[in-house]
Structure 1
Amino acid sequence: MIRKRSSLILCGTFLFVSWNAVLVLLLWGRTPQGQLGNGPRDLALMPTSDVVGDVIRMAESFESELGKQKEILSQILSHQSLWKPRPNRKRPKVNAPGQPVIPILVIACNRVTVRRCLDKLLQHRPSAELHPIIVSQDCGHADTAAVIASYGSKVTHLKQPDLSDIAVRPEHKKFQGYYKISRHYRWAISQAFRNISHSSVVIVEDDLEVAPDFFEYFRALLPVLKSDPSLWCVSAWNDNGRDGYVDPGKADLLYRTDFFPGLGWMLLREAWEELEAKWPASFWDDWMRQPEQRRGRACVRPEISRTLTFGRQGVSLGQFYDKYLKYIKLNSEFVPFTKLELSYLKEETYRSNFDKEVYGAAVVTYEDVKQGQLTGSGPFRLQYSSKDSFKVMAKNLGIMDDLKSGVPRTGYRGVVSFFYRGRRIYLAPPPGWTQYDPTWS
């Protein structure tokens, strides 16, 4: 910008000097009308009083114009500092214009261990301006509020104002916590999009620790999410991402999944405008997994998780935590996602390549996989034909066997991809799969 301005100033200076030089030459080249001769012919050339007046007016006009040009030149010279190089000066560092702001919304309640979450976010955050941290607290827990307040201006602390109990059916009284969580999510996300006017947000819970490339991951995938209407979220989580079930050499590998993973996920304002009006009273995450909300869209998820949960205690009473969640592998290798080519995630390209990879793989039996009798480097396809056969094989192989509206965790077109004893396994339906059966649950 400064270089462009300097060129314009130099061009203006040149035109100014050239114009005045031409004007002066023209005036000097005129017949000297104030100098009279001695002969009769000279008398004939004597100017009349009207001509003399014209010349005087021209001279006065010329003098006035010179004054104006002098003033303009002085203004040009006064801005010399913008285009004349300064010796021994370093240019100030300026953030590149046009970079999107992606806020992090931390959902908090009564865990003082929110400090672990916030410390990691602040440790790995590349820019406070590009990634403001908003902590939305429910529950009114004083000790947790004190922890959040201790970060001062490093975070924005919001407090959910409605702490009242929610009227529920008698049989749902034990689920009161889930109702309050759903109410809090709706309020907090609305604050980020409506009152603070962000266009995207990454939502994390107060019991999540983030990987070193957490911010890099979401910055790289924001344009992918914005440009592909067949996607509706980006998640940092792999439900089957336990150590030994992921390829340690594929930290840069990303997938499309039909299952909403949550646990560190990015949402666009447009998607929230669609969801907010019908937001559920409880169990918001399972509601997100219903076909009415998903509408055939997918999320992006990583091979190796960029979040790790350390919150065993909560409204779910540690469901899945001891068996699965505490063993999730958190990525430790920084992957420069913003420098990678991610167009392979586009729906048509991804689906075509995925189908070739899965259904071109050698078919093996459950016994071969379980007993380690596979030959070759893989990948291998293990086929299921019913809900029961899927659940039996998934459970016995150590991956999550539950389904939500017929969709298995991490599944894409019915296929669950995981690592087992050093080889890639695709637990897949028969060729020709068309759609999920919502009765599978």
Structure 2
Amino acid sequence: MTYTATIRRTRPLECLILPSLLLLLTMGWSRVVMGTGVVGNFIKINITVVLPEGGNRTKTIDTDENSLKTFGITREELSSALIYTNANGEVSEVVMGERHIPLHLEPVRDSSYTSYSFGTVDGGFWSVSASNFTNITIHDLEDDETLEAVEVSLDWSLPPLAQPNPADVTLTSALLEAAIYLDNTTLVRQKVSGRVAIGKWVQMVPYAGVYLQVLNPHTHLTTLAAYFNTQDYFIDRELVHTLTNLMPGRLAFLTSYYDTSGRLGASSRDTLTSLGSFAARYLTFGDCWSWAWRVGGATLAEGLVTNPHGVMSHPPPLNLEVPVSPSPPSERLCESWPLSWNKRQHFCDMYDGYGDLCSCSAPFTLPANATGTGEELGVVVVAGSRARYLFRLLRQLLTQPGVALHQVLVSIDGGYEETIKLVDLLGLRWRVHNPEGKGSPRISRHMRFALYHGVQLLATNKFIILEDDLILAPDFYSYMQQTAVLLDKDPSLFAVSAYAHFSFRHTAHDPTRLYRVHSLPAYGWMVKRSFLEETLPKWPPVFVATDWDYWMGCGLVRRGRELVIPEVSRTSHAGLSGTHFSGFVTQKRFSNKPLSDDPNTRVNLTTVNREVYEIELKELLSRAKPLNISDPYNFTFPSEPGEVYAVCVKMHFQGDDKTFKVLADALKIWSQDPRDHHYGLWRLPYHRATLLIIATPYSKYSKNYLKQQCPVLSVNGALYAHMLDNYNDENYNFLRHSPLDFLTIMNLNLDSRAQFEHHLMEHSVSHDVTSGEANNETSSHISTLLGDKTVITSTLDEDKTVYTSTPGEDKTVYTSTPAEDKTIYTSTAEDRTVYPSTPPEEKTVYTSTLAEDKTEYTR
């Protein structure tokens, strides 16, 4: 982009003269004097202009020293400032803190010299422009060693049977320790050195949760090892989903660490009870719990040590010993399966958690690979160690009409044998990437690898890209087939996405409607082969820390083109473990999003025609009623059916997003950043009305489109702080036993309960059975009365069959993989059930003693 300076002389108003900054571009033009006053010496300064389509443009200018002094700025300050344009690429001022300095530049666009800067892993910047790639094509990547697939040899033989010797399993559950031992072998052990003080604070310690080990009773090998961080949201659902998809006959061992109850919902407790647990329904804060059972059969043993006084006490540790004996070898394999299913026999013997993929009576099978109607699309799936997530996705994808199995490629980031074997037994193509970097760079480089091999291996003109932790709507593939024609007909589009960030239950109602937006693709998207061929040679190197999707949304990649998104999403993000996600993030950003449920939905392609789309927007703007808002959190947004409302928010450039974030947060929609807009305008079907959010003055629609004056919302620091507070996980479900809980847990009869209540009355002990609160005197009496009955052990072996598992010669010791957020939360625990987090003045320092084998496993 080339700029020319516009001469603006400020007119005096009475005695007031507003100076202008004297700027001249050194592009061969003659010098022109601007502003008022005495002209001093000219000096050269490099200024950086942020362009409306993204990226930066650096230019050398001449400026007058006296002008700098007039505005009280230095050469260095101006040189380091970012100068932002509006949507039309115009510059009217430089904003430096509270100072607004007039500066007028008229742009002449030259995108080949526009530079884009991205953060690097060492804290620096990687700057690049289209001119860096003028002589590079995708064929230049053929000799790139980082794009070479890793050779993997798979062994499909069955592991040998274990010796038929009796064995003992020991489960430990304690305040700061969880462990599962098989004879002299440690299956899992998590121990934190430190202490948790007794008091009014609920201290949240690292690694708290549930540890699961599943054993094959015939080989004594671990088929599933998982850690569930039960301090996080939705983890109880993942725990239940995992347990309900275990293969019948397996030996399952579960033990808790510190606290399991906080996020364990009522429905999850009911499911655990239906699977055979007696203690799941009674768990409260700090209880120690261990459970051993045969999947699909009886509980072998279960132990519970209650923590009767909540934060005012610590329970003693639980050590539960479970004797097991061998299972008949004849029950090892599914005899009804075809002989050709040798890979499935091996896979289901080695791994667990795949539901009917390993069902002997009703196994899952892929539909016949019949030729469907519509365009045949390539599908590239990026995957890693989360094989159970991947199976859920592939099952949904491969059962949709029209999907061609030979046009599906799964790219695996690392030699994860379980994932590779799953894809192989399903008969799909796969490639293994040798991981590069860590975190975001690793994900970005794997995406590059996957797209490159998709272009090389799949004979299609368009490609769908999926990640392994997505949920697909039943019309996902149909949606992609219908919208594929848009990429052929409209060169102003670069991709189609199946996901809309602003698609929530109160802002998305019509599954047939599509939108044009300036944004980045996410959670299931489609591009043409030609787009990948032009984009892959520009891909950021491994030292760039920026996420790949943000890079794909920049002007260097989009080149002024737009993205098509649906009003109602066709995908949902469902992963709770990963580089960028946790249960809290899922709860905050993804829990209230609708998913199309009609497999026969026909989308309206006409409305995203560029001319038709513009006409419709102008019509909506012409009848929009501007809203005057000062505090979005205390404003009732109208939602009259058929009405159109406009909210103008202060935004000088796309990064000037504080006001937008506050408004979006108040509307309970996506508020992380201002993506999915059309030239700075967001169109939301708010309930049954239409709400237009207009970035002012950034959006081209902020001038001369609305018939009525639109008050501009600008938030203060307090409102922005309130928005940030909403991203803090401040609540934790603190559950506490009532004084008589042990009677219910031990299934004592009413007479025993009456005797106990009479005993309390005789000793004048006050208690509140309903609220679960008791005074200190009550606590001391109950401690005496409970005695050793706080340790409950249940041996429920109705079929009289005792199962065993003895260690093989070579066993893997698993250690937990904690959540990324190591924040220690605390909450007051007085008279409420849900307590806000308040960190104490002194933090307990915990050190983790991990098992020697650092094998990583995921949920």
TM-score (norm 1): 0.67
Give the whole-Å Cα distance in 1 for the aligned partners of 2:458 and 2:556: 28
Say whether the 8 Å CA contact 1:108–1:135 is kept in structure 2.
yes
Deviation at residue 280 of structure 1 after TM alignment: 1.3
Identity %: 27
Worse-superposed segment, 348-357 or 421-430? 421-430
Say whether the 8 Å CA contact 1:192–1:198 is kept in structure 2.
no
Of residues 614, 617, 620 in structure 2, which corresponds to 1:357?
Answer: 620
2:392 pairs with 1:116: yes
Give the whole-Å Cα distance in 1 for the aligned partners of 2:591 and 2:632: 28
The 1:95/1:142 distance shift into structure 2, 3 A limit, reads closer
The 1:133/1:191 distance shift into structure 2, 3 A limit, reads same
Partner of 1:135: helix, strand, or coil? strand
Say whether the 8 Å CA contact 1:370–1:397 is kept in structure 2.
no
Say whether the 8 Å CA contact 2:639–2:686 is kept in structure 1.
no
Say whether the 8 Å CA contact 1:102–1:202 is kept in structure 2.
yes
Of residues 672, 695, 702 in structure 2, which corresponds to 1:429?
Answer: 695
Deviation at residue 425 of structure 1 after TM alignment: 1.5
The 1:351/1:432 distance shift into structure 2, 3 A limit, reads farther
Say whether the 8 Å CA contact 1:201–1:266 is kept in structure 2.
yes
Per the alignment, residue 684 of structure 2 pairs with 418
Per the alignment, residue 490 of structure 2 pairs with 228
Say whether the 8 Å CA contact 1:409–1:416 is kept in structure 2.
no
The 1:242/1:183 distance shift into structure 2, 3 A limit, reads same
Give the whole-Å Cα distance in 1 for the aligned partners of 2:451 and 2:677: 27
Partner of 1:276: helix, strand, or coil? helix
Deviation at residue 414 of structure 1 after TM alignment: 1.0
Give the whole-Å Cα distance in 1 for the aligned partners of 2:553 and 2:469: 22
Partner of 1:124: helix, strand, or coil? coil
Give the whole-Å Cα distance in 2 for the aligned partners of 1:316 and 1:369: 28
Partner of 1:327: helix, strand, or coil? coil
Per the alignment, residue 238 of structure 1 pairs with 500
Larger RCO, structures 1/2 (Cα 8 Å, 6+ apart): 2
The 1:372/1:299 distance shift into structure 2, 3 A limit, reads same
Worse-superposed segment, 101-110 or 346-355? 346-355
Say whether the 8 Å CA contact 1:235–1:299 is kept in structure 2.
yes
Say whether the 8 Å CA contact 2:492–2:562 is kept in structure 1.
yes
Say whether the 8 Å CA contact 1:106–1:136 is kept in structure 2.
yes
1:398-435 deviation line (CA, Å, top 9, x unaligned):
222233xxxx2221111122344443312113589339
Say whether the 8 Å CA contact 1:383–1:428 is kept in structure 2.
yes
Per the alignment, residue 666 of structure 2 pairs with 396
2:432 pairs with 1:159: yes
Give the whole-Å Cα distance in 2 for the aligned partners of 1:262 and 1:252: 19
1:245-265 deviation line (CA, Å, top 9, x unaligned):
322xx1111111111131100
The 1:431/1:380 distance shift into structure 2, 3 A limit, reads farther
Deviation at residue 219 of structure 1 after TM alignment: 0.7
Aligned length: 320
The 1:320/1:352 distance shift into structure 2, 3 A limit, reads farther
Partner of 2:599: helix, strand, or coil? coil
1:341-400 deviation line (CA, Å, top 9, x unaligned):
523312122122223223432212336896436273222111112233222212222222
For 1:296-307, list aligned pairs within 5 A: 296-307=560-571
Give the whole-Å Cα distance in 1 for the aligned partners of 2:578 and 2:668: 24
Say whether the 8 Å CA contact 2:383–2:467 is kept in structure 1.
yes
Partner of 1:143: helix, strand, or coil? helix
Any runs of at least 4 consecutive aligned residues in structure 1 with deviations exceeding 6 A, and if so which?
Answer: none
The 1:332/1:144 distance shift into structure 2, 3 A limit, reads same
Deviation at residue 275 of structure 1 after TM alignment: 0.7
Give the whole-Å Cα distance in 2 for the aligned partners of 1:323 and 1:95: 41
Of residues 378, 381, 397 in structure 2, which corresponds to 1:103?
Answer: 378
Worse-superposed segment, 193-202 or 426-435? 426-435
Structure 2 runs not aligned, ≥5 long = 1-369, 703-859
Deviation at residue 180 of structure 1 after TM alignment: 1.6
Give the whole-Å Cα distance in 2 for the aligned partners of 1:178 and 1:95: 38
Of residues 368, 374, 385 in structure 1, which corresponds to 2:638?
Answer: 374
Give the whole-Å Cα distance in 2 for the aligned partners of 1:127 and 1:197: 14
The aligned amino acid for 2:671 is D
1:187-206 deviation line (CA, Å, top 9, x unaligned):
11111112434321000100
Say whether the 8 Å CA contact 2:519–2:553 is kept in structure 1.
yes
Say whether the 8 Å CA contact 2:377–2:462 is kept in structure 1.
yes
The 1:369/1:345 distance shift into structure 2, 3 A limit, reads farther
1:68-102 deviation line (CA, Å, top 9, x unaligned):
xxxxxxxxxxxxxxxxxxxxxxxxxx9689x5320
Give the whole-Å Cα distance in 2 for the aligned partners of 1:326 and 1:124: 24
The 1:356/1:335 distance shift into structure 2, 3 A limit, reads farther
Give the whole-Å Cα distance in 2 for the aligned partners of 1:274 and 1:435: 32
Per the alignment, residue 267 of structure 1 pairs with 527
The aligned amino acid for 2:638 is L
For 1:39-438, list aligned pairs within 5 A: 100-112=375-387, 113-128=389-404, 132-151=407-426, 153=427, 155-160=428-433, 162-163=434-435, 165-166=436-437, 176-247=438-509, 250-281=510-541, 282=544, 283-318=547-582, 320-337=585-602, 342-366=605-629, 371-372=635-636, 374=638, 376-377=640-641, 378-386=643-651, 387=656, 388-403=658-673, 408-430=674-696, 433-434=699-700
Per the alignment, residue 87 of structure 1 pairs with none
Per the alignment, residue 151 of structure 2 pairs with none
Give the whole-Å Cα distance in 1 for the aligned partners of 2:414 and 2:501: 28
The aligned amino acid for 2:511 is A
Deviation at residue 216 of structure 1 after TM alignment: 1.1
The 1:356/1:108 distance shift into structure 2, 3 A limit, reads same
1:3-50 deviation line (CA, Å, top 9, x unaligned):
xxxxxxxxxxxxxxxxxxxxxxxxxxxxxxxxxxxxxxxxxxxxxxxx
The 1:370/1:268 distance shift into structure 2, 3 A limit, reads farther
Give the whole-Å Cα distance in 2 for the aligned partners of 1:359 and 1:429: 17
The 1:317/1:336 distance shift into structure 2, 3 A limit, reads closer
Deviation at residue 230 of structure 1 after TM alignment: 0.5
Worse-superposed segment, 364-373 or 275-284? 364-373
Say whether the 8 Å CA contact 2:650–2:697 is kept in structure 1.
no
Structure with bigger helix share is 1
Partner of 2:591: helix, strand, or coil? helix
1:119-176 deviation line (CA, Å, top 9, x unaligned):
11122233436x832211112112222322331x2x222222x23x53xxxxxxxxx1
The aligned amino acid for 1:208 is L
Say whether the 8 Å CA contact 2:372–2:403 is kept in structure 1.
no
Say whether the 8 Å CA contact 2:512–2:604 is kept in structure 1.
no
Say whether the 8 Å CA contact 2:648–2:693 is kept in structure 1.
yes
Per the alignment, residue 14 of structure 1 pairs with none
Give the whole-Å Cα distance in 2 for the aligned partners of 1:194 and 1:223: 22
Give the whole-Å Cα distance in 2 for the aligned partners of 1:159 and 1:358: 51
Per the alignment, residue 57 of structure 1 pairs with none
Give the whole-Å Cα distance in 1 for the aligned partners of 2:701 and 2:445: 32
Give the whole-Å Cα distance in 2 for the aligned partners of 1:336 and 1:384: 35
Deviation at residue 240 of structure 1 after TM alignment: 1.7
Say whether the 8 Å CA contact 1:102–1:200 is kept in structure 2.
yes
Partner of 2:569: helix, strand, or coil? coil
Say whether the 8 Å CA contact 1:254–1:303 is kept in structure 2.
yes
The 1:368/1:144 distance shift into structure 2, 3 A limit, reads closer
Structure 1 runs not aligned, ≥5 long = 1-93, 167-175, 437-441
Say whether the 8 Å CA contact 1:232–1:267 is kept in structure 2.
yes
Per the alignment, residue 30 of structure 1 pairs with none
The 1:434/1:418 distance shift into structure 2, 3 A limit, reads closer
Deviation at residue 116 of structure 1 after TM alignment: 0.6
Say whether the 8 Å CA contact 1:103–1:132 is kept in structure 2.
yes
Give the whole-Å Cα distance in 2 for the aligned partners of 1:216 and 1:96: 11
Give the whole-Å Cα distance in 2 for the aligned partners of 1:182 and 1:335: 34
